[in-house]
Amino acid sequence: MVSSISVVELFCGAGGLTHGFEKAGLSVAVGYDTEPACKFPYEHNNKSKFILKNVEEVNGCDLERYFLDGSTRVLAGCAPCQPFSTYSRRYGYKKSKWKLLQDFARLISQCQPEIVSMENVLQLQHHGVFKEFVQILDNLNYCVKAYEVNCLDYGIPQSRQRLVLLASKFDKIELTAPTHIPANYTTVGETISHLEPLNAGEASKTDPLHRCSKLSKLNLRRIRSSKPGGTWRDWPEALIAKCHLKTTGKTYSAVYGRMAWEEPSPTITTQCFGFGNGRFGHPEQDRAISLREAALLQTFPEEYQFVAPDEPVRFTHIGRLIGNAVPVKLGEIIGQSISRHIAGFN
C-alpha cells in the first residue's frame, strides 16, 4: 500500500476502477455513485466506503475530508458514458446528462487535487464538453495527456477502446506501456473455458453469478446453427430475422453471434447476457454467456460478488453493473501509472 497517496472516486459503480487501484497498491477512501445497487459489491469486495450521492450535490469540502493530510491527492472518475456514445449521438441522448462531466470539472476546481484520472468512451473527445473540461484543467495549471487505449494491449480479453485522461500538477503522466501484442492477446478460451458447462436458463449450484438466460425455441435453433466467430448469415434463411433481410439490417452482422475460443470477446455491454444483443453466444455451448463469464471478460476476479447472498440475481440489474464497469485490469494499469509518476517526484 502506498500510504502517501489517497484517492477519491466519482461515479464508482460496482468498483472496477477501485479494485484495479487496490491491486496497484493505491488506497481509495470513498466512492460516490447514485445507484444503490453498487453499495454491496463496492464495499464487499474493496476496502473503501460507498457514498450514495449525486455529484451535483457534492462540493470540494466534502471530498477534502477523505484525503489524508499530507498525501498526494488523486480524484478519479468515469462519468456515465451513455451521453457520449455513437448510439446516443444518433438517437439524441439528453444533453442535460453532459452536466456530470461539468460537475467533475467543478469539483476539480474546488479542491484541486494533485492528480486527476478520467476514463470514458473514445467518442467523448469529439464533444465540446470534453474540450471545455481539458481547458479548465489547463487553466488550473495541470499537465494534461489523453490516451486512446486498446484494452487488448493490456491483457484484457475484449475488443474495448477507451479514452484515458491523466492530469498532474507535477508533469505529464505517462501511461504504462502496452503489455501485449496481437500475437499474445488474451482470448475468450483463456478466460472462461474452465467454468462448468451450462444449458440455456441454467445456473451453477456453486456460483450464483454463473447463470445464463433462457432461450426461445427459435433462438435455440439459431444458436445451434451459429459458428464460433460467424454471423447470422451462416443460418438457413428460415431462421434469419426479417429485419436483417432488409437493406438497413444487413450491416448488423454481429448480433446473434457466437464468440470464438481463440479470439478476444467483443465489448462487454450492459445487455451482454442476451444472445440477440451482440456476439454474446458461448463459443461451444448452446446459450448466451453467463453473468460470471461477462465479469471475467471484464477482468473482475472470479470471487468478486455483485449481490448479497440473500438477494436474487437479476440479469438486467447485474448486467448493468458489469457492463458499465471499468475493466479491473485497466484500473490497475491506470493506478500503476499514477503511482510510478508520483514516485518520481518524491
* pLDDT for position 248: 45
* pLDDT for position 97: 57
* Distance (Å, whole) CA 31 – CA 24: 17
Radius of gyration of the chain (CA): 21
* pLDDT for position 123: 92
* pLDDT for position 235: 83
* pLDDT for position 244: 67
* pLDDT for position 87: 41
* pLDDT for position 48: 97
Residue 157's nearest CA partner among 332, 329, 310 is: 329
User: Contact at 8 Å (CB) between 133 and 94?
Assistant: no
CB within 8 Å of 286: residues ≥ 6 apart: 199, 200, 215, 220, 223, 224
User: What are the sequence ranges of the domains in the chain?
Assistant: 5-179+326-343
Counting beta carbons within 10 angstroms of the beta carbon of residue 70, is it exposed (0 to 12), middle (13 to 18) or buried (19 or more)? exposed
Q: What are phi and psi of 129, to 5 degrees?
A: -65, -30
Query: pLDDT tens digits, residue range 92-128?
Result: 444 555 689 999 999 999 999 999 999 999 999 998 9
* pLDDT for position 96: 54
CB within 8 Å of 100: residues ≥ 6 apart: 11, 55, 56, 79, 80, 83
* pLDDT for position 2: 45
User: Contact at 8 Å (CB) between 276 and 256?
Assistant: yes
Residue 40 corresponds to which cell in the numbers above? 454491496
Q: What are phi and psi of 9, to 5 degrees?
A: -115, 135
Query: pLDDT tens digits, residue range 240-276?
Result: 877 766 544 445 566 789 999 999 999 999 999 999 8
* Distance (Å, whole) CA 210 – CA 95: 37
Q: Which of these is catalytic: 12, 38, 81, 212?
A: 81
Q: Is 81 a catalytic residue?
A: yes
* pLDDT for position 247: 47
13 torsion bin: left (phi>0), alpha (psi -120 to 50), beta (else): left
Pick the CATH number of 5-179+326-343 from 3.20.20.70, 3.40.50.150, 3.40.640.10, 3.30.413.10: 3.40.50.150
List, for the chain, all residue ranges whose pLDDT scores fall below the cut of 70.
1-3, 81-98, 244-254
